Amino acid sequence: MDAPPNTLPALSATLHEALETAGLASPDISISHITTLLQRYTAPDYHPFAHHDPSKPYTRTLLDDGNGFFNLMLLVWTPGAGSPVHDHAGSHCLMKVLDGELAETLYAVPDAHDHPTHDERVDSGNEDSVDEGEPKGIRVRKNARLAVGDVAYIHDKIGLHKISNPSPSQRAVSLHLYTPPFEYCKTYCERTGEARASGKCVFYKDFSSRAAAAAGTQSAMTACRQVNVMRPPSPSQDILASSCAKEMRVTLAAGSAVASGI
């Protein structure tokens, strides 16, 4: 391997080796091993990819599409903003804080019978049922603060969560691994527990090799090997602009109470 072991290209190569068979769902693959790989990553070479649109709660940038087996992405969190309560569509999610601090609230998965979806209530002609009697909100199981270097893991079997940046002034950056990748998940109303299908989970920028090949540009990992991370690129050398294959603005789920990428 031509890169030092804790750089983004090195991490990416190791994740390809570990996950290109069956993703984390395989009994052969250990979540603690993948956690260790993420813990080892401490290099600053993510900086050129930490793209931030401050008009959004958080900005997702795809670094590696894992040949369809995983997605590795950077999320930059706007001060004081966060995601709505959501599930992870059966995917395993590992998240490492690279900069700033994040707050995670973990919720028990609501009982589907107690919390019909909006569509189910409409179909049953009982659309107003959540307003009758006690609201069946979702139950908080844990609140945690995640500092730089912390790696958190979540799966639907553990629960739902929401993430926020508690700082009023500092942005936060996190590195997320999802395996298998997913594009849609469910968001939940905290008061009623009602689930809604999310909008498509989109990327502000897509640096995956698939997108790069389609556009005839560099993948994130190639660009990462070439960029001098100690000297931020000038606007004319901005690899974000020059190698961006596809720019997709975050779209909001119709009716979503919280402006979010999911």
Ligand X SMILES: N[C@@H](CS(=O)O)C(=O)O
To the nearest whole angstrom, how small is the minimum distance from the Cβ of residue 92 to ligand X? 11
65 in Cβ contact with 209 (< 8 Å):
yes
Residues that bind ligand X (CB under 6 A): 60, 75, 83, 93, 163, 176, 201, 261-262
Q: Which long-range contacts (CB under 8 A, 24 or more apart) does 143-146 make?
A: 143/103, 143/104, 143/105, 143/106, 144/103, 144/104, 144/106, 145/101, 145/102, 145/103, 145/104, 146/95, 146/97, 146/101, 146/102, 146/103, 146/104
Assigned token pair, 54: 């401050």
Radius of gyration of the chain (CA): 19
To the nearest whole angstrom, how small is the minimum distance from the Cβ of residue 128 to ligand X? 30
Nearer to ligand X, 167 or 222 (CB): 167
Q: Is 86 annotated as a binding residue?
A: yes
Q: Is 52 annotated as a binding residue?
A: no
Nearer to ligand X, 19 or 227 (CB): 19
To the nearest whole angstrom, how small is the minimum distance from the Cβ of residue 167 to ligand X? 16
Nearer to ligand X, 149 or 232 (CB): 149
Nearer to ligand X, 83 or 192 (CB): 83
Q: Is 51 annotated as a binding residue?
A: no
Q: Is the peptide bond before 168 cis (omega within 30 degrees of 0)?
A: no
Phi-psi label, residue 188: left if phi above 0, alpha if psi -120 to 50, beta otherwise: beta
- Cβ-closest position to ligand X: 83
To the nearest whole angstrom, how small is the minimum distance from the Cβ of residue 244 to ligand X? 19
To the nearest whole angstrom, how small is the minimum distance from the Cβ of residue 7 to ligand X? 23
Residues annotated in the binding site for Fe cation, as ranges? 86, 88, 161
